[in-house]
Amino acid sequence: MFQSFSNLTGKLDLLNSEVKEFSLKYTPNLINNTPKSVLNNHPNRVSCLVIDGLEYDNKELLQVMLDVLCHYVQAKHVTVADSLQTILPRLIKLSTYVKSMDVRIKSLQCLFEIAKVYPTSVLLPYKQDVLLDIAPSLDDKKRLVRNMAVQARTRWFLVGAPGENKEN
């Protein structure tokens, strides 16, 4: 399984954007059937694939990539912390994704997990931008999205606040 996964990630960097998007459409099945231990053993390769996958307009692809990203965030992988400058704008953009409520909820959940897991010193430069950009999700037509937006925004509001309760 990992050999085909490794071949895929190695070849995707060489492709142009149209062929890359076509190839990424078939990765949800591959990633869903990949054990978490394989994903954990090779976070650098997989995280590049996940971050690239967040910019395409394919609901199934986005759901799988967001699941893997949340898994990496909860596992506190350094590759996610190093890529926050790229990840956060993509997650914020997906928090208003029109085609799927599940994608909106999952992107807000990832934003919540990022604010919960990573240290304040890493998150503080992004705090104001994230707080302002999450605000439109508070007015979403779906109640579940609004609830997750409130949780995410509240968690980001607490970043750097006195008495913030973090294990770091």
Domain residue ranges of the chain, discontinuous segments joined by +: 2-157
Could you give the 3-state DSSP secondary structure of residue 75?
Answer: coil
Tens digit of pLDDT for each residue in 6-26? 565 565 555 566 666 666 776
pLDDT the model gives residue 32: 73
In this structure, which topology does domain 2-157 adopt according to CATH? Leucine-rich Repeat Variant (1.25.10)
Residue-level pLDDT at 7: 61
What is the DSSP annotation of the chain? Answer: -HHHHHHHHHHHTTS-HHHHHHHHTTHHHHHHTS-HHHHHH-HHHHHHHHHHHTTS--HHHHHHHHHHHHHHHHTT-HHHHHTHHHHHHHHHHHTT-TT-HHHHHHHHHHHHHHHHHS-HHHHGGGHHHHHHHHGGGGG-SSHHHHHHHHHHHHHHHTTT-TT-----
Cβ–Cβ under 8 Å, residues 94 and 58: no
pLDDT score of 17: 65
Considering 17-21, 51-55, 147-151, 164-168, the range whose residues carry the highest mean pLDDT is 147-151
Q: Is the pLDDT of residue 60 over 50?
A: yes
pLDDT score, position 1: 46
Q: What's the mean pLDDT in 81-109?
A: 95
Model confidence at 91: pLDDT above 90: yes
pLDDT at 88 over 50: yes
Per-residue pLDDT at 57: 87
Question: What is the model's pLDDT at position 43?
Answer: 78
